[in-house]
Amino acid sequence: MTDRYTHREIEAGRKLFGGDWQFLAAAGSAASMPPMRGVEIAFAGRSNVGKSSLVNAITNRKALARTSRTPGRTQELIFFNAGSELHIVDMPGYGYAAAAKSKVSAWTDTITAYLRGRANLARVYVLIDARHGLKDTDEPMFKELSASAVSHQVVLTKCDAIKTSELEARIAEVEAALAKKPGAFPGILATSSHEGTGMDELRAAIARLLDERKR
């Protein structure tokens, strides 16, 4: 999928994520969120979809974001920065059935406050497991993104776990479903954090987004 992006955009993406990425802050409520600075992009998705692994892969860091085999481990908004205008936010995973209702409610309130209150949030990348595609548990997130008027785009994760023919079918399936959802940015980004597949394209997409915001 590199034909979507120019060589300049690929290189801009690599430079953008080539810095020394570090943990900046963790916020479990609207009151504890750090001041708005620069431009933020956020990664959202079901629990165990691979958000932390993707953050580590895109920043070329093995343990920047904490990964776990236990779903629902990320319970706060986690902010990262590398000394540039770009900030990355790892959002709490949703759809974890074993979580207490009170905890799920608190996560939901924090996510809603974040999406509706961050004027510097440029886009949310919604991660979808390529093995399973869209699920009912994804629907509330898409509805909230639409209600909050936040630009969002789908990133397929764990694409190395299925055959090429299955991946092509999955992409077509997700694209057809997104065509019915208002506000979804067109184009599916297919990635594998394990193999590094699609990371150049994702970085380039983010570099293009930042460039467009400057115009």
Res 83: pLDDT: 93
Q: Which residues of 91-101 are buried (b: 16+ CB within 10 A; e: fewer)?
A: bbbbbbeebee
Parallel, antiparallel, or unpaired for β 189-190 and 152-157?
parallel
How many CA atoms does the CB half-sphere of 28 hold within 13 Å? 7
* CATH homologous superfamily for the domain 2-214: P-loop containing nucleotide triphosphate hydrolases (3.40.50.300)
Q: Where are the beta strands (DSSP E) in the chain?
A: 22-27, 39-45, 77-81, 86-90, 121-129, 152-157, 189-190
Res 72: pLDDT: 47
Q: Is the pLDDT of residue 177 over 50?
A: yes
- Is residue 173 very low, low, confident or very high in pLDDT (cuts 50, 70, 90)? very high
- Is residue 141 very low, low, confident or very high in pLDDT (cuts 50, 70, 90)? very high
107-119 pLDDT tens trace: 788 899 999 999 9
70-99 pLDDT tens trace: 444 567 899 999 999 999 999 988 876 555
Phi-psi region of 68 (alpha: psi -120 to 50; beta: other; left: phi over 0): beta
Res 106: pLDDT: 74
Question: Strand, helix or coil at 14?
Answer: helix
- Where do the domains of the chain lie? 2-214
Give which of 131, 197, 139 is closest to 169, Cα–Cα.
131
62 or 207: which leads in pLDDT: 207
Q: Can you read off the two tokens belonging to residue 27?
A: 């916020």
For the chain, give the mean pLDDT.
90
Predicted TM-score (pTM) of this structure: 0.92
